[in-house]
Structure 1
Amino acid sequence: MKKPVIEFNNYSFKYHSQVDPTLKDLSLTILEGEKVLIVGPSGSGKSTIGHCINGLVPFSYKGDVIGSLKIKGEEAKDLDIFSLSKIVGTVLQDPDGQFIGLTVGEDIAFSLENDCIEQKSMVALVEEVAEMVEMDRFLSSSVHHLSGGQKQRVSLAGVMVDHVDVLLFDEPLANLDPATGKYAMELIDRIQKETNKTVIIIEHRLEDVLHIDVDRIIVMDDGRIVADMNPDELLASNILEEIHIREPLYVKAAKYAGCEVTEEMKPSKPLSFAVDKEKLIAWYESTDSIIPRGKSEPILELNEIAFQYHAGHETIQGVSFSIEKGEMVSLIGKNGAGKSTISKLICGFEKPSSGTIYFDGQDITKDTIKERSERIGMVLQNPNHMISKHMIFDEVALGLVIRGVPEQEIKERVESVLKICGLYPFRNWPISALSFGQKKRVTIASVLVLDPEIIILDEPTAGQDLRHFTEIMDFLVELNRNGKTIIIITHDMHLMLEYTPRAIVIDSGKKIADESATTVLTDAEIIKQANLKETSLFELAKRAGIREPKEFIGRFIRYDKEVRKNWQ
């Protein structure tokens, strides 16, 4: 019989900085060797559960605890942070915040060095774990030169080398391209099966996690557990819909079509999910088709842009494309393809080695960063690279203050944007008290408040739940309707399908496609080359015998957006 590893019993926790408890009367047991997924809206308490398990509560995040939490039979309050770290290994959402060593080998070895392990044994252990996560060929490489997926594997190796009993993953998919995310889940699954470790995954992207088998899904809302079920039982219910967590797209399409979804239909497995084809086809035929957007004048043009960080290796190779006024476009591709570098070239953070950039017909290739910032706003992928103030209001107001905007106008504009980004209740909070996802919203607000003509957003919705995802994207859509041109760098294929009719695909510094979003995600060659992933809607449409799967995808996207417009 499996033994309990994690036991919450009538457990509540309140941060000192807050009035109400974040966790409320939790009772939860996780057994050895289980693979458990924790989902819930932002602020539901799922990350705090992780912090309690790994000891960040109460050692880093101070607060009041009521009830009992046992880790391997011992009260967590009686264990120090070092002892907990030998039981629970945590892989953070942002791997850069976890690195200690300069090279892959040094970083994996850090814990062993602290334990004064003899060097010969240490080398053998590092090589063994590096091989397990398929990073043995990179032991001498700098951790800062790795792709997002490789960084995550190094972080995993760094905790596995301690032979911990529990592996805790905090949003492991947030910064990974679709194919790398799929591989990451397969790696987690393989390691769990080989080592029988207990695995806890905290993640918004439910459908992507369900690429592998999980034993249970814990659903959090408002600090409480509202469901603790196997995946098929949960997907057959309406619990996720009621608290606005995105269900797998193929399940949502079946429910929209009026198909009954039962546990016996195995809804967690798209290829074996037995849907009522007649109802699906009838629903498809009754929905409206997509109306193409009309053409307009180009506002941004890149002409044969080339760039290299290091002599002899071109990062960007002869990239050309144009963006029309009022367009909303996705820039997609695998980790390290060159997407963020292109955005830096557009903003002037880097200068191209050759080629020309035009804004509204004028050559801006030699314009300064300041000159371009009057027209183009940029929200970086990592919020910590943008934040310079201690308080939320001050950070969002900074650009307006520098521009000499009157104080009353600053207050009105900042408060308006904070409300849109779901940050108004926290306007007087220190930024250090925010989660990664909340910091992301602060940086988006700090750019949106400046009212630029073009806004470039690098992964704007990473780490956001469906409600905040929808709020942010609906706000961007409203800006777009009012004439703003928006470029989104993203790994979220549903965001691309739902909000950007057009996608520009980059691979190894080259443009390999410039097509409609649905065309990109139904082209097997582009999907393979750019590390993308075919949407489950495409497979569902093919299995139902729908002749135009691309049209089915488009109609689902349109219908789903209309449904979410009614959310309060």
Structure 2
Amino acid sequence: MVNPMIQFEQFSFKYHSQVEPTLNEINLSINHGEKILILGPSGSGKSTLAHCLNGLVPFSYPGEMTGSLTIKGEQTKDLDIFSLSKIVGTVLQDTDGQFIGLSVGEDLAFGLENENVAQESMKKIVADTAKLVNVESHIDHSIHELSGGLKQRVSLGGVLVEQDLDILLFDEPLANLDPATGRYAMELIDQIHQAHHKTVIVIEHRLEDALQLQFDRVIVIDDGRIVTDTTPNQLLASETLDHVHIREPLYTKALKYSGAVIDSKHQPQQIDQLILSESDIKRLTNWQSHYRKPFTTPPSDQLLQLEHVNFSYESRSVLSDISLTINRGEMISLVGKNGAGKSTLAKVICGFEKQQQGSIKFAGQPLDRESIFERANRIGFVLQNPNQMISKHLIFDEVALGLRLRQIPEDEVKEKVFDALRVCGLYPFRNWPISALSYGQKKRLTVASILVLEPELIILDEPTAGQDLKHYTEIMDFLEQLNQLGVTIILITHDMHLMLEYTSRALVLADGQLIADQSPVDVLTNDQLIERAHLKRTSLFDLAVKAGIEQPTQFIDHFISHDRQVRKTWQ
């Protein structure tokens, strides 16, 4: 008889700040050495389940637990958080909440110092771990100088130095990573699993990217309950993902749209393993024949101009000779690998950082003499990490802050705040404390706090990271509505399908240089650009090639148009 590593039995949990339980009657067994993927829409209880495993519930987030949760045969209610930390290593979704040291090396060494590891041994372990997660070149860098993707790797390294852990728990490990780095992260998790036979649990929204790792099972949670516990192939052959608004792999969705019936015999977990029958290919070809190219008129009124902009942190060049023009009313994606300079470019445009060379003009006027507050009246910036933007305790007050600083009448403030909260799916929580929100909900809160100000240009750094498909669609459709009214939008994103679906131009950065300014389809069919900027070719292109479709780019456009029409029925 197999003794499970983790055993939930009729387990429920309710936060003290809430009326209803977040987890309801969970029954789940996870065996030693299994690789488990946990999926669910925003607010479904995924992160709470993770917090129950690592001890953050109830030690950091108090509440009422009923039922039983055992790890390695011991009841977690009988263990303290320190004891649990020796069994379960966690890479949090919010990496900034996990760092202790000021530099990369100090943070990696923290756990070893607590164990009184000899200094020579410690240096070797830290160096080996830094190499393993590919941050050896940043070992002396301040944590706060790192991009989101590099922080993710350091956070992973901080867990891996603890070599005696039984369980590795990853909460949205792909959320802040470029596609190539995300693929590397999943490969690294797989290597660690194979080498040390750890029990691996991954909580993730980016299902297609997560399935690069061969999971034993996928657990789907909705409304605090387990909906499905099955294999990846069986899950993709079902309709479960549609019901809980999780984006399934694009190639399986395209097959379903074409009328194909997917079962586990198709081996749909990965595109390169997918088996297509002659009837599947015929359906895809017939479906593609309905494509009609939309007519659009590109904007031409210049809004933002950068000429030969350079920026460095001390002696390290971050932006090199950036020149570009963005027209009023465009929606543009800014893409590239982690650390390429995307967020820094946004900070320079907003005035948070000052370029050393070059000029920036807004509507033909230089921005150099304008303060950050003055620029904020016309340019809004939603940061990648929501905790860096939040300054109030209550949700309503956070969204209302910018309006109140501009002395807007309170009745108008209330109307605008409620509208923004509805769009971002937070209206039911309007009177909640911010501390009760999940990381993904906090992300939507910061989007709402900028959208409510109605700036001429909005820059959003990973606006949909950590969002389920329903909230992704709501946010992006609202941004598109703003864009159609003339608001210019720049999206910093690692989501290649978002780039294809919503933007007309892609600005590609690599090593601080602008290496491409092209249509998203042209970017994602250029293997040299993809490799240099750590992007990923869409699986729709791969499916079209696999099916022998002569014009893959039209197939992609047809899917995007059809998929958006289907999702409009959700609203």
Question: Counterpart of 2:66?
Answer: 66
Question: Counterpart of 2:172?
Answer: 171
1:542 equivalenced with 2:545 (yes/no): yes
CA distance in 2 between counterparts of 1:418 and 1:428 reads 11
Per the normalisation by structure 2, the TM-score is: 0.96
CA distance in 2 between counterparts of 1:105 and 1:305 reads 32
CA distance in 1 between counterparts of 2:352 and 2:336 reads 21
Offset of 1:135 from its aligned partner? 4.2
Structure 1 residue matching 2:255: 3-state secondary structure: helix
The letter for the 1-side match of 2:527 is A
How is 1:453-532 mapped onto 2 (pairs within 5 angstroms)? Answer: 453-532=456-535
How is 1:143-154 mapped onto 2 (pairs within 5 angstroms)? Answer: 143-154=143-154
Structure 1 residue matching 2:317: 3-state secondary structure: coil
Question: Counterpart of 1:255?
Answer: 256
The answer to whether the Cα contact below 8 Å between 1:290 and 1:554 also exists between their aligned partners in 2 is no
CA distance in 2 between counterparts of 1:240 and 1:541 reads 23
Offset of 1:120 from its aligned partner? 4.1
The letter for the 2-side match of 1:199 is V
Provide the aligned length of Structure 1 versus Structure 2: 567
Offset of 1:431 from its aligned partner? 1.4
How is 1:17-416 mapped onto 2 (pairs within 5 angstroms)? Answer: 17-136=17-136, 138-162=138-162, 163-275=164-276, 276-311=280-315, 313-416=316-419
The answer to whether the Cα contact below 8 Å between 1:505 and 1:530 also exists between their aligned partners in 2 is yes
The letter for the 2-side match of 1:367 is E
Question: Counterpart of 1:440?
Answer: 443
Flag the 1:293–1:558 CA change in 2: closer, same or farther, 3 A. Answer: farther
Structure 2 residue matching 1:4: 3-state secondary structure: coil
The answer to whether the Cα contact below 8 Å between 2:43 and 2:441 also exists between their aligned partners in 1 is no
Structure 2 residue matching 1:173: 3-state secondary structure: coil
Deviation per CA, 1:290-343: give whole Å up to 9, x if none: 3334333111111222222224x4321111111111111101111111111111
RMSD over aligned Cα atoms: 1.6
Structure 1 residue matching 2:458: 3-state secondary structure: strand
**Match for 1:551 among 549, 554, 560?**
554
Gaps of 5+ in 2: none
Flag the 1:254–1:371 CA change in 2: closer, same or farther, 3 A. Answer: same
Flag the 1:509–1:121 CA change in 2: closer, same or farther, 3 A. Answer: closer
Flag the 1:181–1:352 CA change in 2: closer, same or farther, 3 A. Answer: same
Offset of 1:128 from its aligned partner? 4.4
The letter for the 1-side match of 2:197 is N
The letter for the 1-side match of 2:59 is F
The answer to whether the Cα contact below 8 Å between 1:290 and 1:558 also exists between their aligned partners in 2 is no
CA distance in 2 between counterparts of 1:193 and 1:97 reads 29
The letter for the 2-side match of 1:287 is Y
CA distance in 2 between counterparts of 1:272 and 1:88 reads 33
The letter for the 2-side match of 1:244 is H
Offset of 1:141 from its aligned partner? 3.9
The answer to whether the Cα contact below 8 Å between 1:305 and 1:316 also exists between their aligned partners in 2 is yes
Question: Counterpart of 1:451?
Answer: 454
The letter for the 1-side match of 2:416 is R
CA distance in 2 between counterparts of 1:299 and 1:253 reads 37
Deviates more, 1:315-324 or 1:510-519: 315-324
Matched-pair identity in %: 60
Offset of 1:103 from its aligned partner? 2.7
CA distance in 2 between counterparts of 1:128 and 1:318 reads 36
Flag the 1:400–1:40 CA change in 2: closer, same or farther, 3 A. Answer: same
Offset of 1:62 from its aligned partner? 1.0
CA distance in 1 between counterparts of 2:173 and 2:329 reads 34
Flag the 1:140–1:487 CA change in 2: closer, same or farther, 3 A. Answer: closer
Offset of 1:289 from its aligned partner? 2.5
The answer to whether the Cα contact below 8 Å between 1:331 and 1:504 also exists between their aligned partners in 2 is yes
CA distance in 2 between counterparts of 1:189 and 1:2 reads 23
The answer to whether the Cα contact below 8 Å between 2:149 and 2:339 also exists between their aligned partners in 1 is no
The letter for the 2-side match of 1:208 is D
